[in-house]
A = this chain, B = another copy of it.
Amino acid sequence: MHFGRHISGQFNAELESIRTHVLTMGGLVEQQLSFAMQALHKDDLELAKKVVRDDHKVNAMEVSIDEACTRIIAKRQPTAKDLRLVMAIIKTITDLERIGDVATRIARVAIEQPSTKQQKFHVSLEPLCRQAITMLHQVLDAFARMDVDAAAEVYKLDDKLDAEYEAVVRQLMTYMMEDPKNIPNILQVMWSARAIERVGDRCQNICEYIIYFVKGKDVRHLDEKAINDIL
């Protein structure tokens, strides 16, 4: 029994360590997104370059956490809730890595369009980006506490993000119609807006993994009512 407990204690420590790494990765991704937004907003070329340079850190964390998860499955043969945690983590880090790519994409726009003449297009991305960062922050918080209620709250925030995105697109379309020769530049900004809007979808995915871990139900592809019934 003692041996059994020791093993289990070690196992718990390993799971806890992976969870901590996920939160560290999440924190880095949040920072990348925040820096990318600042770089775009303040035309800060150095900061934009830093975001691009640091993307490999996010990628390396994804690979290393993924390896740790596979190792723990092979070594500890987790079942039930432990296994669900590992599965939820494997999926969560994929979404976090993609959010990291969004940060890089925004940073690239800041690098390729450094002139102040584009400023008016950039400004419109700030509230959208801020909302995406809030959503990411809150979902990481829900993940840290494995709190389904908090996850359900974050899930709903995506509607606001979508509405903001629609407003940005309408605004950018107006710029395009007014000034067709600027279409290629405005399109770059529009791609970024779309990428930011997708951050919301990825945060929703993470909400679903939290619910899967806690409730043991896969709620992907269900509508909001069906999800609420499970919560």
Contact = CB atoms under 8 A, between A and B. Distances in A.
Interface stretch (A13-21, A134-142, A149-157, A179-187): A179-187
A87 to B, nearest CB: 6
Contact of A90 (B60, B90, B221): B90
B187 A177 contact: no
Nearest to A221: B59
Interface stretch (A22-30, A39-47, A65-73, A125-133): A65-73
Contacts of A191: 194
A177 B179 CA distance: 9
Given A180-B180, A183-B176, A218 B63 contact: yes
Given A83-B70, A83-B73, A180-B180, A220 B62 contact: yes
Contacts of A214: none
A215 interface: no
Contacts of A177: 180-181, 183
A113 interface: no
A173 to B, nearest CB: 6
A87 B70 contact: yes
Contact of A63 (B67, B184, B221): B221
Contact of A176 (B90, B94, B176, B218): B176
A120 interface: no
A1 interface: no
Given A74-B83, A80-B74, A218 B180 contact: no
15 contacts: A56-B221, A62-B220, A62-B221, A63-B218, A63-B221, A70-B83, A73-B83, A74-B78, A87-B90, A173-B183, A173-B187, A176-B180, A176-B183, A177-B181, A180-B180
Interface of A: 56, 59-60, 62-63, 66-67, 70, 73-74, 77-80, 83-84, 87, 90-91, 94, 169, 173, 176-177, 180-181, 183-184, 187, 190-191, 194, 218, 220-221
Nearest first, the 6 A-B pairs at minimum CB distance are A59-B221, A77-B77, A177-B180, A74-B79, A180-B180, A63-B218
